Structure 1
Amino acid sequence: MTRLRDEFIACLPERLAVLDAQWVALTRGEPESIEVLHRMAHSLVGAAGTHRLLGVSDAARTVSRIVAALPPGIEVATEQLDTLRAAMNILTEAVSNPGVNPLPPLSVGRATPPRIMVVDDDADQGLWLRSMLEPAGYQVELFFELAAFRAACQDCEPPSAVVMDMVFSAGDDAGAQTIAELKANWLSQTPVIFLSARKDIESKLAAYRAGATSYLTKPVDPDGLLRVMAETVALTPTQPYRVLLVDDDPILLQLHSAFLRQAGMTVLTTDNPLRVPEILTNFSAEALVLDIYMPQCSGPELAAILRDDQQYAETPIVYLSAETDVSRQLLALGRGGDHFLTKPVDSLHLVAVVALHARRFRQAQEASASARAARYERDRHLQAVNAHAIVSVADSAGNITYINDKFCEVSGYSRDELLSHNHRILKSGEHPPAFYNDMWHTISRGEIWSGEVCNQRKDGRHYWVESSIVPFVDAAGLPYQYISIRTDITELKQIEKNLRISEERLRRGQAYANIGTWDWNIQTGALYWSERIAPLFGDTNGELETTYENFVNAIHPDDRQAVADAVTACVEHDTPYQIEHRVVWPDGAVRWLMERGAVTRDASGKASHMLGVVQDIHSRKQAELALIESEKRLKEAQSLARLGHWEAVLESGELFWSQEIFHIFGRDPATFNPSVGAFKDAVHPDDLALVSNSERRAEQTGIHDVVHRIVRPDGTVRYVHELAHAERSADGRLLRLSGTVQDTTEFMEAKENLRQSEERFAFAVEGAGDGIWDWNMNTGEMPLSGHYEAMLGYSKGELTPTVDAWVSSIHADDITRVQQNLRDYLEGKLPLYVVELRLRCKDGGYKWILCRGTVVARNGEGQPERMIGIHSDIDRQKEVQAELEVARESAERANKAKSDFLSSMSHELRTPMNAILGFAQMLEYDSSLSPDQLENVDEILKGGRHLLALIDEVLDLAKIEAGRVDLSIEAVDLTDLIEDCRQMIMPLAEARRLVFDLEISQGAAVRADRFRLKQVLLNLLSNAVKYNSEAGSICLSVHSVDGGRLRIAVSDTGPGIPADRLVELFQPFNRLDAGYSEVEGTGIGLTITRQLVELMGGIVGVESQIGAGSTFWIELPSETLVATDMKVEATSASGTPPTASHTREHMILCIDDNPMNLKLIAQMLGTRPHIHLLTAHTPQLGIELALSRRPEVILLDINMPGMNGYQVLDIFKAHEHLRVIPVVAITANALPREIERGRAAGFAAYLTKPVDLSKFIQIIDAHLSRRPMATNQENLKS
């Protein structure tokens, strides 16, 4: 630089002389000298300034400015020339004493990557910034504290740039404050890039005031960070920037090029602007530096020329001129320039500006190249897509705006036929509307839709496409167009269809054949099997996992080793794998399978896979096993039927016998060799001709069928039946016989016995007076014998012996029944044909006949051919039956009358008994009565209860005699039952000072009805107490007897019973001591006892001795006792009437036509002061009271005049408000069927008269406790 400046100073006088010459020319009126003078002065401004000759540069700038102001093309005024001369004189003086200023430093190319200081107290953020910058070519120093950063700035050279978080924990804007402080000292020229999460303008203003170069908002975009860094810090390019420098001043040209080359740039120079286009053809400049004022062509003119060429339209152009006139600078920039530098220019500034534009141009060129490459790639992709895919574009309404050629080719439509139309033109009808609705709903939300669509070509054929529809959305997120790319998959779909069909055929084939395939990976153990195999192993739900272990576990345990050995042999020795084995299904069923398989091996010969099939052979195996079993059964059947198979070759005399024939002929198969001759020797001599004749007939008929005798070696004679098929020669000779032989000895003997039996039967029938008929079911003939005709008044042979004649003689009322009975017998529905019918006699009357018959012959198809039967005269029996029926009906009427009488008697007796026992019970609780009076009341109660027991016993006897007793037979534990009876009878026994003994073993049990057995034992024990001696004893014993029975005996020490009167004990109403005994009784207790025991399958007996006592016993079937949970019934022995558990007021209505009963109920409820009783003596009044007063409980009699209790109950149940009120029946109807009727009708409870006070109060309390409290207190008060 110093050398160049010295050379420039040396030539300054020469350049000044040129300027003087041009001034002289100007004074001579040569106007062209103005431009030359301006250009040379302009050049001197830049050159002097560049060499730091500032006085020369300023004087030359004054000359340049004065010349530039001169009007071109006209004569210059004297004043102007004088001004110019004065300026040039100053320039001459400056040139004579130029002065020396320090030269500016040269820009040196960076040898190391730019050093960047990153300052951030967030370690993760700092590390992330370093990971972004270092790969981009920057050297990063990371600081997490401001103090460390300050120290580094003081101890080392300033960095290329600083990247700093604006906010530190030290306080708001701590980073900005730090930078402001350092900028004043060490970082004056260092670019600073601030990072901050704050977006407010105050933060940004603070950053820029502190000296920020850029401000980036967190989260930082990586691309944005690198872009700012590239603009802020000049990275040394891998390839030097290429610069073309154009200036007509060779000194400046040399100087400026030195600046740029020193910065590492490749520089070409020229002082002739007209050569620039030529130079650019061989030198791809990334920046042009042009002087403005050059003689051949100005800088702006050259820029305009270059911009006309598209090749240089983007090349950066930097003007380098001494022109300071802003308007001229702007004019130059408007002609195609990008930057304007004023001479003299600082070298660093020149380098920075040129590097900036060169870098941007290179980046733009690289981006353009990338874009071109991308466009090329896109075009190639598009070309590839168009060649393969169907592409279309549709607007927001779905109307087609673009299609490619492939679309037209596949669809068969022309472009004009498709454009502006909706894709519905291609709908095939293959998809439901919901399919298209879902598609449109997806893409209208801006989401991509993908799927397979079946479209229809123009010619109507269908084609399948795999389609993707991509929506393009606007700023509001609404789609404005849709691009669809489709691939024609019609052929693939057809392949899939064919594959499905093939797989379905295979599946069906496997299903029909019950075959499955499997593939076992021997190396990994993985097992695959087709869907058919699982059902073959009994898995119908697909739950069986496909593993080799599950396969082995499914094999029958007895077959597993055989299967394992077969697999091993196949894998190790290539033995064909074929085996039949059993599998056990999850439900325990055993099935037969057949497997075949083979091994595949890899290149080394190692077994890799085993492939095979499994087939269900269960039916075949069952058939094989059945065949074996059938053959076995055949042999057994032949043995049992004494039937054998034989074949005889008559010409050679050979004879084959099955095993059974040896047994029939009494020969040993080990020693006897059968032959035709040996067979003839065994035939009975008297039957040889018979056998020979049958053989001769076989030559004509082809059948050998004969029954004859044989003589065994031991001399016994047997009958055999031979039946064979004959094989004859062409001339009719008998060659071979093959058939069966059966030992029919027993049949022949039975046949003879039958003949004799028939003779005896005919004689017997003849003697019994019965008639015999024999019906040939094929011909209709029916011969008659015996007394058949005589019993109907005909002479022998007078009746036509046909079945039709027999049918015509049947009474018209019987014919249908007789024929149906016959059909049922012939169809197997009846074991015998037995029917009673009336047949017409000769005199025209009818006689009852018992007809019995059976089929005695059937054809080969099992159809009946012959029936034989007898007719017996039962006319007298029918008369007797009619008489008995009349008697039975009479007895039933009498029995019904008795039952009605007993029912009525029970009702009529219970009604007054209700008053007697009811009032007596009330008196029993009257504390004002004296002991004598209470004793009288007790006598009334005892008498009334005894009368009530008599009534119950009479009714019990009536039920037994009528057969209406229902028994529940079960195992009854006698220990518990007898203990219950003992406790019940002990108070009576203790009153008579009787000793009670028990003899029973634990666990004794019988089969009986528990309730009825208890009734029986209580009756026997009660008799033992009543008829015993004072201070005597009672013994109840239980022990086993023959026949699997237990005997329960009750013994007393009473006076005994005479033996001749024991038979009278079980007669109803017969009391042996009635005339003299004070013991109360009805005389029917023992009658009921015997009948109940007999109904339970037992017997009753009695033993007695005068003066020693009596023993009554019963025997019942014994039973083994099964342990069950014991239920204990709790009973109350309280001697006082129950008391109410509440004190609130209640209302009860009682409806009864008997005033005495109403009075009794009133007194019974008198013990409840909070119960108000309403009474009604007629049903109508009761209904009115129920409707108006709404009682909580209604007491209702059943037998009332005008309307019975059931009719009243129906009215209550039909009313909305009355149906919820519990209705309790209080009636004298005490029969079980009447009680059941009452419960079924809907009564809440059913009480029979006479009413038990405790039970009555208990039921009332129970129903009142369930009722809500009355809300209308007026009902209670009124």
Structure 2
Amino acid sequence: MSAAVEHSAASNTDAALSILLTAIAEALWDWNLLTGEVIFSSQYQQLLGYSDNQFGHHLDEWINRLHPDDAKPAMAHLRAHIDGHANLYQHEQRLLCKNGNWKWVRARGSIVARDSQGRPSRMLGLIAEINNEHQQQAKLNLKLSLSDAMLKNFSQHLPHSFFYQFQRFADGHFCFPYASVGVSTLFGLKPEQIKDDATALFQLIHPEDLEPLRQAIRSSASSLQNWRQEYRIMHGSEERWVMGDAHPEAMADGSVLWHGFLSDITEQKRIQKKLQDSDQQMQLIMRASNQGLFDFNVQTGRGTYSAEYARMLGFSPDDFPDAKKFWQFFWQESVHPDDIDTLRNAYQEHFSSHGKIEFKTEFRQKSKSGQWRWILSLGSVVEWDAQGRAVRMIGSNIDITERKNAEQAVRHQQELLSSSQANYKHLANELDILISNAPVGIMFVSDGTIIRANKTLAELCNFPDAKAMIGMKSTFLYQNEADYRAFAALVVPKLIADEAVELEWLVKAIDGKSFMARIAGRALPSQQYVRGAVWMIEDITQQKNMLDALRHSEQRLQRLMNSNLVGIAQGVEQARLIDVNTVFTQLCGYPRASLLGDANVWSLLLSEADLATFQQAYSELLGSGTTPAFEIMLKHLDGTMLPVLVGLNYLENSHSEWVMFMMDISERHRINQLKSEFISVVSHELRTPLTSIRGSLGLLEAGVGGVLPEKAQNLIKIAHKNSRRLVGLVNDILDMEKLASGKSNFKAERLDLVPLLEQAIEANHSYALALNVRLHLFHHPDHAWIKADPDRLMQVLANLLSNAAKFSPKGEAVRLQIHPRLEHEQLYYRVEVTDIGAGIPASFQARIFEPFSQADGTDTRQQGGTGLGLSITKTLVEKMHGHMGFVTAVDEGSTFWFQFPAEP
């Protein structure tokens, strides 16, 4: 192979290796333990949603993204491997993605280098996503194709070289369990011919090199040191030189298995021989020829030169009719600037040693065409003066440009060979790490026999380790002979066609336990697929069970949707519907197909006002992830309007898919209407006579009818008090009815809460004083501007203050406070009314704002009241676009609060 061809092949090899290593770098991390620097591959960053170069190069990039629950065990596993307590770093963990989501990954890694003191210096590993089976399958396919590409690239780009496995048994028997197709080009033998017996190949080795080769193999087997040898082979009638390099591995059966690489170095040997011959010829020419001679006076600088010297540089003797001009050209223009000092030093050493140090130097000289030519200059001083100074020197200059080019070519060939060998060793090491640390089982099979397996496969198949699987027939994986034949019938045609195999199959471990596996495989590069194949095996039993459960769940959900009495719709972004049940179509009257996929369908189903209500609820869902139920009128296909109650929420673990429940509340509206009409009629009918009764009883109690007996006076007082309660109850019921029916009007005025609270305290002072309780505005800003109805807000404060006074012990104070609060970038003013009473029982807290609700027990019942006050108060606050709530502690008191957005 010529130098140019070998250079091209090596360049193609480097390119192929670069492509392969770049691809293998999928989700790869490389940690320098001495400097702390970590290289995260592009795929690693992209797996977490980042672009290239958005990661730094420090271990903190990984540590800061670890889930808090996973950080401690992850570090423990890592430390166990670094300290030598675990052969492999392996851990499943959650990493934080750029979008804020957590992603489950399986991390594996191993120490791959140590410093001179034996301390770990480099660790290499990868991560694989395990919560997405489609991505997992893609990675499996990629790893398979990369393994296949690696072998193919080397076979295609190194036609005069080949990879091999050479095995020497204890009885002296030799064979090549594996050899790439390059063995055919180099030895003229097919891989199958030397698979079981290497005699045919050894017969091609030159007789003079055979015994040294055997001795080197025996020495490597004994010491388990790398084997490296140059020897000759007979290729037909032609003698060729080859060089082998291999790493031995002791096997369980006592044999030694070498993993190696053999290349043709005939061309390199030929170039070396040519250089030796050329150098000898040059020595003869220098002794026998006077071409390129020079003769000059060292002290005057004058001299002569031969015509051949000028012609050697492309000049003719006529170009320098005066020898003085030639020597001026020599020193001022001809010698390369970088070589002038070297040339002068060579002269000086020869002169100062009085000729004992030979004058011999190489320098570059410019030719007439402007090219630089390498010159070998040899000479000697032949005349010295009385003081021992050099006077006359003669010598010859020889053009050695071709020799320099040949030397450069040899160096280049050696660099290419060294680079190819280094790349092979590096790639073999990287591939070994990748296979050993792969999260799926991997095995190489040749003629039905396992020749290599990784630890993951050994664990899946219940072997003690991967070495125990070497030499096993792969048929143990199948249920029986019929199962094996069925599998072969599916995969053999694809292997023959050099296609990837991918399928799911029930396989069996060595202990007889079966599991469902995802199997991917491909034939190794060879003339026939029976030479071997690489297989990846993953246990998917749990995934299959989960998928079956999911399928059954979806079927049950579909039956539930279609048998429900509530309309159900499922949607995605932009409020587009992707599914509805039968009840939903019945409620709106439209066929299912006309409702799906179009965001404008809501303009058909809702009025303009109800559409705005729906869009507001949908916006709240997008913003906060939840929204309260709301009522709208659904427009039927026939034009009728149907009142419905609507609930919206996201599907579990999703921020794009949502579900809507829609219930027909026509009957509820009819009953509420009847109730409202009944309450209105009854309340109005009661208010007039009750008002008269209260007034009359008040006059009697005041003594208008004369002085009453003490017993009658007490009865009148009780009757007057209860009449006032009845009037309050009727008023509360009317207020509730008005609020529920939407008949109450609310003003929206800009007001300051500080003076309003002071007015409320003054208005309720007498009531509190009668209970021996003080009202105190404890904390507030100078101003607190909001927008609300001042009359309604005074009603809210009256209810809260009277309740707090009723439930406060005598002699205590009810505290009022105003606090500014910032929520979701919006400023609010919160009013808090706090008592130090008995607190609200936990069993009653959920119902405290419901109408007619009162806590059980003598202590609360004896305070009186209708149970409507808090319900009315909360409704008033919400009608004014505020929020209300409470906090309480038993035996410590309660704080009721409401808040409104701040006004500028």
TM-score with structure 2 length normalisation? 0.28
Higher relative contact order (CA 8 A, sep 6+): 2
Structure (1 or 2) with the larger CA radius of gyration = 1
TM-score with structure 1 length normalisation? 0.21
Q: Quick check: which one's strand share is greater?
A: 2
